[in-house]
Amino acid sequence: MDKSLTSRCKELLQFLSSTKGDLANVTGPPSMLAPLSVVEVGRCWAQRPAVFAAPALEPNADRRCLLVLRMVLIALRTQMYVGGSPTTSIKKPLNAFLGELFLAEWTDEKVHGAETSSSSSSRSSLSSQGQEPALSRSTTISSASSSSTCACGTDRITTRLVAEQVSHHPPITAMHIADDIHGVRADGYARVEMTFSGNVQVRQVGHAVVRVDAYNEEYLIPLPDIKVRGFLTGRLYPEITDTYHVIGSNGYTAEIKFSGQGIAWGGTRNAFVATVYGPAKETKTSKSSKSKSASDGRETLYTIEGVWSKGWTVRDARTGAVIETYDVDAPENAAAPIVLPDTATQDPWESRRAWAGVLDGLGKGDMSQTVTEKTKIEQAQRRMRAQEAAAGEVWTPLFFKSEGHDGSEVFHRLASGVAGGANLQLHDDRTKGVWRVDDEKIKNIQRPFRGGLTPLGEQV
């Protein structure tokens, strides 16, 4: 084991043991920092445009639910293994400062109406990874079905991400991802709460909603809680150990049961089993009973089993046939290249320009530079908050707005669509309401964003 890594984990363990309360805004040891900010985490959904657009290109409702679930699963490793991978120790992303922005695009090349789904995208992994599929290719999961109703006339799929730190106390990040040509969007927000009791408990308060315009469908995606383990071995890793649902407005529901590796009882790290269910059957029994299971009165359509950080197998539950074997590390499943303005031409409020000195220090392993540059921003932000308080001013986000409890209609409508959905809690009182993008403000984004004001409180 890398002795320097072990010593850093011990340093972090000592730090966490001496810190009380919510750790989300606490500055930890610089050696454990990831070279990116919290506002970048939403890229996990946006960086594979063909995967994001897939539900809009699928005419069958059951497969659309499966494709939304697929997108969630594919995003998990990037989302959870921040600054690391299953073979390295994860790190803590930089705490985003109030008003911090991350704006990026990704583009995939795509052939619509391909004869075989396995060759329909340069980045699609819908073949059986070198094995003959159990079903004919026409029944393989497809991100560009040959019967697609899409008539956009383009072979390019582009996703755009707009993310903003809309609150600092408590820390709340809002994001909007869209493929405008194919009519798919995801809107979400999260407050992150971190506590320590032997391992780090990360709770995400918030949710995301995916909308597919072509079918007038919405999918509710609660955000999973995470346990960070591995302090004793010197290699930190994330684990999800609960049950979550992807709930469609069309009546289809996906249930994900995360098990993972226990501290004392074995198991497989990052393991999960997922099931896609059809709409509830209208029977006297299902109407009168109060089941806690998502399967109440529903047909099991697809099952997925595997390890979300490595790969999994998808089966048609009605035939038992394997319809996809997904390998996270397969070259064809790599993320599309990110498209960003050069750092020098970014606005001072954009993440990579704002943290440029810190990122440079982390890249060189220069902890002195890292601390110095990080402290500049943190101290400047504290001064700005004090000045606002003294002047009676309230910070206003650029691209997102809080709809208060009035914005909860979509959440409650979708949550009621699955047995046990009443157990899903909005907690909008802890996130300053329900955050949604201001569609008018993102139609024509123009730099500079805040005139000559910078995150350092300076005018340029």
Q: Please, what are the domains in the chain?
A: 3-226+334-339 (1.10.287.2720)
Q: Looking at residue 19, what DSSP letter applies? A: -
DSSP 263-287: SSS-B-TTEEEEEEE-PPP--HHHH
The stretches of 399-455 forming alpha helices (DSSP H) are 409-415
Could you give the CA distance from residue 315 to residue 275 in angstroms, rounded to a whole number?
10
The neighbouring-strand residues paired with 110 are 121
Could you give the CA distance from residue 256 to residue 111 in angstroms, rounded to a whole number?
31
Could you give the CA distance from residue 209 to residue 263 in angstroms, rounded to a whole number?
33
Give the residue from 226, 221, 165 showing the smallest Cα distance to 200: 226
First-to-last CA distance in the chain? 48
pTM: 0.86
Give the residue from 112, 211, 118, 113 showing the smallest Cα distance to 156: 112
341 to 61, 334, 443, 451: CA distances (angstroms): 38, 22, 18, 19
Q: For position 135, what pLDDT does the model report? A: 30
**Hey, which bits of 293-360 come out as E strands?**
300-307, 311-316, 322-327, 338-339
Q: For position 124, what pLDDT does the model report? A: 39
Could you give the CA distance from residue 357 to residue 338 in angstroms, rounded to a whole number?
21
The neighbouring-strand residues paired with 322 are 315
Could you give the CA distance from residue 37 to residue 165 in angstroms, rounded to a whole number?
10
Q: For position 340, what pLDDT does the model report? A: 96
Q: For position 110, what pLDDT does the model report? A: 64
**Sign (positive/negative) of CA torsion 380, 383, 388, 394?**
positive
Cα dihedral 298, 301, 306, 312, rounded to 10, equals -150
The neighbouring-strand residues paired with 222 are 207
410 to 194, 256, 415, 426, 451: CA distances (angstroms): 27, 21, 8, 11, 35
Q: For the segment 65-87, what is each residue's pLDDT rounded down to a tens digit?
A: 999 999 999 999 999 999 888 98
Residues 52 and 184 sit within 8 Å (Cβ to Cβ) = yes
Q: For the segment 310-345, what is each residue's pLDDT rounded down to a tens digit?
A: 999 999 999 999 999 999 999 999 999 999 999 999
Q: Looking at residue 424, what DSSP letter applies? A: -
The stretches of 41-165 forming alpha helices (DSSP H) are 43-46, 49-53, 61-80
Give the residue from 17, 59, 64 showing the smallest Cα distance to 278: 64
Residues of the chain where predicted confidence (pLDDT) is lower than 70: 1-28, 110-154, 198, 262-266, 282-296, 419-423
Helix or strand run (H / E) with residue 353 = helix 351-354
Q: For position 8, what pLDDT does the model report? A: 54
Could you give the CA distance from residue 433 to residue 411 in angstroms, rounded to a whole number?
12
Beta-carbon contacts of 433 under 8 Å, excluding residues fewer than 6 positions away, are 402, 403, 404, 405, 407
Could you give the CA distance from residue 38 to residue 397 in angstroms, rounded to a whole number?
16
Could you give the CA distance from residue 54 to residue 68 in angstroms, rounded to a whole number?
8
**Sign (positive/negative) of CA torsion 259, 244, 68, 132?**
positive
**Sign (positive/negative) of CA torsion 85, 88, 90, 94?**
negative
